[in-house]
Amino acid sequence: MAHLSRAFAALTLSAFACMTTAFAQSAAVDSFYVDRKVQMVIPSSPGGGYDLYGRLFARHMGRHIPGNPVFVPANMPGASGVVAAQYIFSAAPQDGSVLGHFYATAIIDPVVNAQSRAKFDPNKFTFIGSATAESSICYVSAKSRVKRFEDAMTHDVVLGSTGARGKSSDYPNAYNSLLGTKFKVVTGYPGINEIGLAIERGEIDGTCGSSWSVMTTGRPHWLADGVMRIIAQENNNAHPDIAKLGTPLTRSFAKSEESSQVLEFMYAQAAFGRPFAMGPNVPPARVEIVRKAFSAALDDPELRSEAQRMKLEFSNPMDGPALQAAVARLTATPKRVIDATNRAIGVN
């Protein structure tokens, strides 16, 4: 009996020690965000769609985290979002004090680009969630001689882009290779705001790979006043509001099964069009707190009300685990499709 009593006592002490450790860890996690400033990295220049979504969540997530930290937006444009992604992956503190809002293309770029693959592994990011699925469009100035997407197959069309990689370059380059268009891509614009100004000034004809929400929120007069003309939907499935304008899907112009598969792969990232992520080594307990805060912010009436005023969409959002799985599926795309995609967009 004495032996059993000693064993029971030892077991009780062990259980107590575990509980004490758990409480201590919980307290440490809870106290981490007290009076903390959390950096919200945004991959574009101020004023664009990613900037609007990033700043919206920065204003509302803090009150859903124990300690009510202040989120501080930090614009970090460059290389179509790769600069921001690389910073989050390797340079940012891995303590839960930095959250990034990414271009979906920057996350997927290492799948097709060896240079990006050497900088970060998309599957090692800690995904927090995606605010919405995204729909992309190709549009030109109403003053352009291009009236339909087919016209770009017979006329040179100058498009603006943020960098040599990313949707605004990859999409038109793929169309030239797969569909026979004659797009000329001018790179180096910091963001969609600068591209829009260049179109309005007549320096370029238009752009591809732009988010539908950018036009509906940031430049609604472009459609209402007939300033811009949408010539193609760049999605696997038609967006109902864009379809009402009579705008065709680019995949309808595919000339082969391989061309269709390449476009399908390129557009698959639209399912997580507004992703948020942290670095690969953030403590799991803090990841869980931030994931819960993101989901809570999505359902927050104050955020929803503000988003409605800004006309921001929240269609088919994803939580962190679902986004993590979606990225894993996309990065497992067969090599033959990836090789065909690289040929189409001009990546060696």
Length of the chain equals 348
Note the pLDDT tens digit of each residue in 114-123.
788 888 999 9
The yes-or-no answer to whether 37-133+270-345 and 136-269 have a common fold is yes
pLDDT at 12: 47
Domain boundaries, the chain: 37-133+270-345, 136-269
On the question of pLDDT at 7 being above 80, the answer is: no
Homologous superfamily in CATH for domain 136-269: Periplasmic binding protein-like II (3.40.190.10)
More confident residue, 242 or 2: 242
Homologous superfamily in CATH for domain 37-133+270-345: Bordetella uptake gene, domain 1 (3.40.190.150)
On the question of pLDDT at 75 being above 60, the answer is: yes
- Single pTM value for the model: 0.73
Averaged pLDDT of the chain: 89
What are all long-range contacts of 194-203, with beta carbons under 8 Å and residues at least 24 apart? 194/45, 194/160, 195/160, 195/161, 195/162, 195/168, 198/160, 199/140, 199/141, 199/160, 199/228, 200/141, 200/227, 202/141, 202/143, 203/160
Contact 138, 195 (CB under 8 A): no
Mean pLDDT of 138-143: 95
Mean pLDDT of 304-321: 91
Query: Pick from 129, 123, 100, 130: which is nearest to 280 by CA?
Result: 123
Pairing of strands 98-101, 275-278: antiparallel
Contact 294, 274 (CB under 8 A): no
